Structure 1
Amino acid sequence: MSVRYQRRTSRTVSDIPDYAPKGSRRGNKGGSRVLSVLAWAVALACLLPMVAVALAAVTGGTDTVSHLMETVLLRYTGTTIVLVLLVAVGTFAIGVGAAWLVTMTRFPGVRFFEMALILPLAFPAYVLAYAYTFVLDHPGIVQTTLRDITGWGARDYWFPEIRSTGGAALMLVLVLYPYVYLLARAAFLQQSSGAFLAARALGNTSWQAFWRVSLPMARPAIASGLLLAIMETIADFGTVSYFGVQTFATGIYTSWFSMGDRAGAAQLALVLLGFALTLAVVERSTRGKARYHQAGKQHTKMPPATLTGSRVLIAWVLCAIPVLLGFLLPTVILIDMGLESEQNLLSRRYIGFIQNSLTLASVAALLTVCAAVCIGFYLRLQPGRAATAAAYSARLGYAVPGGVIAVGLMVPFAAFDNTLDAWMRATFDIRTGLLITGSIWLLVAAYVVRFLAAALGAYEGGQSTVHVNMDAAARSLGQGPFGMLRRVHLPILSPSLLTALLIVFVDVMKELPATLIMRPFNYDTLAVQAYRLASDERLEGAAVPSLVIMAVGLLPVILICRQVSRRS
């Protein structure tokens, strides 16, 4: 009986007999073909930027490569590696430590910190950079007060330089540690007490049991969070650019715009693409091979330890510092900066920035979720190597920095526009100009490629709750693939689709490198306006669009906080 039951519940949608009438069966097959074509069109569109970058880099000649190796390549590589290592260590220490404290211990305020530790996720790192530069730079309030109190001159004391690799790493750690915290906390919640208590019975202290048992069991989840943080680090442009830190991300932008060297930008993008894809493969292999199982039949949650005395104060300090530095203090600083600025959020100019940002984010979010539905539903209807390959290709964009995607789309479409313009002038004496390059739709396409993996993950998480028998019932009633999707899946998956829409919407609002490279002329967003004002050292003005971006970023964070509170 157990074997029969296992066979019945392991069926996929493709294994279900089609009881519909013959006429509707032909419609079902046609709908499946249309769905497969749409899914592969999305997958190939996601692969296009990577292929274009590789071709542009290979055909760019060796002179540019030699020049890069002699001048900036070594510096870009060293700085990027140092930045990645600092962010990895920082996010691991804060994320894992905070997750263990709020999950495995009990102290006054632990419920508050469970959710508050997620709040820094609402900030882009470059916004934190603007806030802390305003306070900690030489003319800032901290150093000014220090000089007033001590009477020191500018060269009489040493103060940590915020505009440095270490400063950029600190900004990134403060906004990226929630990735590690969320995944590590979920892993700790799922652990049974058996192995931990056995380690204690063998004479290990609580710290030794954590280090030798609990931490290795949570390693796959922690590694996934760290790799997400690292990929966001190598993709970051706003923070490192503002701090003057030379990484591959800033090198791509400098080569493309300042030097007009398309081949150099493509070759730098290819190196960064290779690094990002290597991280994606490592993340997949780590998540796929690492398995930890409980030895017993019963799963008993580990009883949390109650902290008393000085340990409560230590736990409070360790949990409060990331929240204070990553959310509360920057919010207060930005509000103070915004009140002192001359930027009018209700002016026609700022309303235009808001409209542009909302338009791009809304259109990109809608198209991205539609693409995710095509890929996810195709994988459910026709599971196999082809569908798996399409889904994997669609997910690659999240591992690729926005600047690389921008270069990968600009190169082929600029060549197409120039070829078409030359042919039209030679044949009909008509100048077509740039039809696709520099358009809103090409920018939206870059957003879709960049954030499709996030939408696909949210959709597939909800799709797993739709039982295969619902699909069988829909087919027996004569529904084709699109009818099944419209009448069964979409109503059930509306919360997951809303989550996907919200996540992509906020990610597009915060995206800076792709927007800077690909935006149409005189079509600026809030992120671009904040970057431009900060580049001109008008930090008070940059606070106004930064606050709007942060406020929008709070929406998915609040949604995540609600989910965390339900699981606790």
Structure 2
Amino acid sequence: MASAAGVRPLPVKRLRHPLIGTLALAVGIVVILPVLSLAFVALSGTGEDWPHLIANVLPGATRTTLALLAMVAALTSIAGVACAWAVVAYDFPFRRILSWALVLPLAVPPYLAAYAFGEFFHYQGPVQSLVRAIFGFETIRDYWFPDIRSTWGTAFVLASVLYPYVYLTTRIVFLMQGRNIADVARTLGASPARVFWRVLLPVARPAIVAGVALVLMETINDIGAAEYFGVRTLTVAVYTTWLNRGSLEGGAQIAILMLVLVLLLLVAEQWARRRQRFHSGRGTHLKVHPPRTALKGWRRFALPAAVSLPILSGFGVPITIFGQYASRRLEQFVSPDVASAFLNSLMTASLTAIFTVVIALFLLNAQRLSKGRAMAATVRLASVGYALPGGILGLGLLFVLARFDNSLDTFARAWFGFSTGLLLTGSAAAVIIACTIRFVALAEGAVRSGMEKLPGSLDEAARSLGKTPAQSAASVLLPLLKPAILTAAVLVFVDTVKELSATILLRPFGFSTLATHVYENASRGVPEEGAVAAIVIIITAMVPVVLLSGALVRDAEASL
């Protein structure tokens, strides 16, 4: 009888199809091309704008941007970590409801929150009206009230809607490891405060850093909130230099400076997460969850009240303000302008979701089959788009599309005697291309998380039955990846509906999405006229965000 040890496993073939590798590389080049184009335009400038930029724009805009980033990082870290630990470690009334309600602000785009807070803290708004009613003040000269239209006000608004990034990533770590480690530390005599500061925060640091990195990316990408509050960040400076001074080169140069700042953030994130390794809970863990600490007395009601504050700020204020305005404009729900903006948003978001998911599936399946470093690097290159602020990506893509259209028009005139005009520049296709480039990393991450749970032997088993790689992917992988694919499509759809920066730059004349419809009204000083579109955006994003949060937490608890 042959020994089992003498049986040699069949060698696993690597994918050697040059067409797939070429297509994957082409995707990576398309993603990075706007950045290369932006650098080329920035370097081609004469430099005549630099004296003005250095003297009047860059110092103030850079200081403001850095201060804004620091304040947003601090506020989101405090709110996200505190809320995550509260709902994981303690038992109090409405804990389950609050645990998923804490993600609701993620459905509110920052520019909508800015418009809502501007109205909420306005002289005629509910807060100042209440102050005057209580203390008997008659005019603004009778009392002092903080100005929301400031750097700190912008930071507060951004933190109110962006803290769920930190909350979600930190909560999952606390669910999977934090409570077990805390129980061990308490058995050794450590106080709850010491356990939290000396044990839990170091454990959760990679998750906190990852969440804060996402928050800072969104902060740099923001233009609506900063512009509405009159805060001159680098993103606002790109637009004002280009549009007000008519200098594309100057705007490109500021955009390159922003890109350097983004790269520094990414490097800082990788450095902060260096040498961090954690044990992943598997079958050796007890299936019974460690008990939460039951609160008594006034703490039983104080903690849920404190946890509710971020929800009321990031979701309650916007939905209340826009809900009141929309209730007086119910006819706008069937108005042609809002209907057109909704259909444009639906079309843009749907096509972007389809394209990003298809590209992500193609790249990851190619990497799964090839198992080579070159393919892994190509997939990583195709994922850098999410690190690019929408304004930078839109500006760089504008140059690329204009060069493409002009070259095609020149060729058509020379060889066929007719003009093609501008095919992509200033078209809805340009908006879809920009969103696809930016969010393909989002789809890739969601699909990868599902693919990593599948055993690697699936491919070999399918091919041993005579299936080609394409047949194996279609008949085996796709059915198993349906939840991950749906998650990826939902994430991209929601982010595309909320996207503003790139859409403003690239959209054609007369093409409005829900986001630009709200932005246009706010720019004219009448944000209430965009209330119906704002409500539609929030509702469109709210349901998928809540479902995704529940799925993430269920997945984390299942791994305990």
TM-score normalised by L of structure 1: 0.91
Give the whole-Å Cα distance in 2 for the aligned partners of 1:16 and 1:448.
34
Residues 168 and 239, structure 1, Cα contact 8 Å, conserved in 2:
yes
**One-letter amino acid of the structure 2 residue matched with residue 559 of structure 1:** L
Give the whole-Å Cα distance in 2 for the aligned partners of 1:385 and 1:335.
52
Structure 1 partner of 2:23: 38
The DSSP-based 3-state class of the residue aligned with 1:62 is coil
Residues 178 and 203, structure 2, Cα contact 8 Å, conserved in 1:
no
Give the whole-Å Cα distance in 2 for the aligned partners of 1:246 and 1:534.
17
Give the whole-Å Cα distance in 1 for the aligned partners of 2:11 and 2:34.
36
**1:255 Cα deviation after fit:** 2.1
Structure 2 partner of 1:21: none
Give the whole-Å Cα distance in 1 for the aligned partners of 2:277 and 2:550.
29
Residues 365 and 502, structure 1, Cα contact 8 Å, conserved in 2:
yes
Structure 1 partner of 2:161: 175
Give the whole-Å Cα distance in 2 for the aligned partners of 1:193 and 1:258.
55
Alignment deviations for residues 109-157 of structure 1 (CA, whole Å, 9 cap, x no partner): 2111111111111111111111221221123233234335514212221
**1:17 Cα deviation after fit:** 4.8
| Counterpart pick for 1:141 among 110, 126, 133 | 126
Give the whole-Å Cα distance in 1 for the aligned partners of 2:443 and 2:270.
18
**1:87 Cα deviation after fit:** 0.6
Structure 1 partner of 2:361: 373
Structure 2 partner of 1:495: 483
Residues 277 and 396, structure 1, Cα contact 8 Å, conserved in 2:
no
Residues 397 and 452, structure 1, Cα contact 8 Å, conserved in 2:
yes
**1:15 Cα deviation after fit:** 5.5
1:411 partnered with 2:396: no
1:121 partnered with 2:93: no
Residues 130 and 543, structure 1, Cα contact 8 Å, conserved in 2:
no
116 and 411 in structure 1: CA distance in 2 versus 1, 3 angstrom threshold: same
Alignment deviations for residues 296-315 of structure 1 (CA, whole Å, 9 cap, x no partner): x9646654221111221221
**1:285 Cα deviation after fit:** 4.4
Residues 107 and 538, structure 2, Cα contact 8 Å, conserved in 1:
yes
Give the whole-Å Cα distance in 1 for the aligned partners of 2:315 and 2:510.
32
Structure 2 partner of 1:77: 62
200 and 145 in structure 1: CA distance in 2 versus 1, 3 angstrom threshold: closer
Alignment deviations for residues 451-493 of structure 1 (CA, whole Å, 9 cap, x no partner): 1111001111111122222211221222222211111111111
Q: What pairs with 1:324-339 in structure 2 (closer than 5 Å)?
A: 324-339=312-327
Residues 122 and 554, structure 1, Cα contact 8 Å, conserved in 2:
yes
Q: What pairs with 1:93-172 in structure 2 (closer than 5 Å)?
A: 93-148=78-133, 150-172=136-158
494 and 294 in structure 1: CA distance in 2 versus 1, 3 angstrom threshold: closer
**1:240 Cα deviation after fit:** 0.8
381 and 427 in structure 1: CA distance in 2 versus 1, 3 angstrom threshold: closer
Deviating more after overlay: 516-525 vs 157-166: 157-166
**One-letter amino acid of the structure 2 residue matched with residue 16 of structure 1:** V
Residues 122 and 550, structure 1, Cα contact 8 Å, conserved in 2:
yes
**1:427 Cα deviation after fit:** 6.9
Structure 2 partner of 1:315: 303
Q: What pairs with 1:190-201 in structure 2 (closer than 5 Å)?
A: 190-191=176-177, 195-197=181-183, 199-200=185-186
The DSSP-based 3-state class of the residue aligned with 2:508 is coil
Q: What pairs with 1:2-401 in structure 2 (closer than 5 Å)?
A: 16-17=12-13, 29=16, 32-148=17-133, 150-191=136-177, 195-197=181-183, 199-200=185-186, 203-287=189-273, 289-293=275-279, 299=285, 302-341=290-329, 344-401=332-389
Give the whole-Å Cα distance in 2 for the aligned partners of 1:339 and 1:299.
52
1:512 partnered with 2:508: no
Residues 120 and 317, structure 2, Cα contact 8 Å, conserved in 1:
no
The DSSP-based 3-state class of the residue aligned with 1:435 is coil
**One-letter amino acid of the structure 2 residue matched with residue 225 of structure 1:** G
Aligned-CA RMSD value = 2.6
**1:64 Cα deviation after fit:** 2.3
Structure 1 partner of 2:538: 550
503 and 313 in structure 1: CA distance in 2 versus 1, 3 angstrom threshold: same
Alignment deviations for residues 483-516 of structure 1 (CA, whole Å, 9 cap, x no partner): 1111111111111111111111111110001000
**1:564 Cα deviation after fit:** 4.7
Residues 337 and 539, structure 1, Cα contact 8 Å, conserved in 2:
no
Residues 192 and 294, structure 1, Cα contact 8 Å, conserved in 2:
no
1:463 partnered with 2:451: yes
Residues 191 and 302, structure 1, Cα contact 8 Å, conserved in 2:
no
**1:423 Cα deviation after fit:** 5.8
Give the whole-Å Cα distance in 1 for the aligned partners of 2:241 and 2:189.
59
**One-letter amino acid of the structure 1 residue matched with residue 12 of structure 2:** I
Give the whole-Å Cα distance in 2 for the aligned partners of 1:439 and 1:80.
31
Alignment deviations for residues 366-390 of structure 1 (CA, whole Å, 9 cap, x no partner): 1111111111111111122211111
1:439 partnered with 2:424: no
285 and 139 in structure 1: CA distance in 2 versus 1, 3 angstrom threshold: same
Residues 192 and 302, structure 1, Cα contact 8 Å, conserved in 2:
no
**1:216 Cα deviation after fit:** 0.6
Residues 235 and 401, structure 1, Cα contact 8 Å, conserved in 2:
yes
Residues 342 and 541, structure 1, Cα contact 8 Å, conserved in 2:
no
Residues 65 and 267, structure 1, Cα contact 8 Å, conserved in 2:
no
Alignment deviations for residues 537-565 of structure 1 (CA, whole Å, 9 cap, x no partner): 21221211111110110132122233255
**1:426 Cα deviation after fit:** 6.6
**One-letter amino acid of the structure 2 residue matched with residue 467 of structure 1:** P
The DSSP-based 3-state class of the residue aligned with 2:23 is helix
104 and 152 in structure 1: CA distance in 2 versus 1, 3 angstrom threshold: same
The DSSP-based 3-state class of the residue aligned with 2:142 is coil
Give the whole-Å Cα distance in 1 for the aligned partners of 2:249 and 2:535.
37
The DSSP-based 3-state class of the residue aligned with 1:180 is helix
Give the whole-Å Cα distance in 1 for the aligned partners of 2:458 and 2:404.
46
Percentage of identical aligned residues: 40
Residues 105 and 161, structure 2, Cα contact 8 Å, conserved in 1:
yes
**One-letter amino acid of the structure 1 residue matched with residue 205 of structure 2:** R
294 and 198 in structure 1: CA distance in 2 versus 1, 3 angstrom threshold: farther
Give the whole-Å Cα distance in 1 for the aligned partners of 2:201 and 2:474.
44
Residues 89 and 179, structure 2, Cα contact 8 Å, conserved in 1:
no
**One-letter amino acid of the structure 1 residue matched with residue 228 of structure 2:** Y
The DSSP-based 3-state class of the residue aligned with 2:534 is helix
The DSSP-based 3-state class of the residue aligned with 2:146 is coil
Give the whole-Å Cα distance in 1 for the aligned partners of 2:415 and 2:179.
77
**1:250 Cα deviation after fit:** 1.0
1:538 partnered with 2:526: yes
Residues paired across the two proteins, number? 549
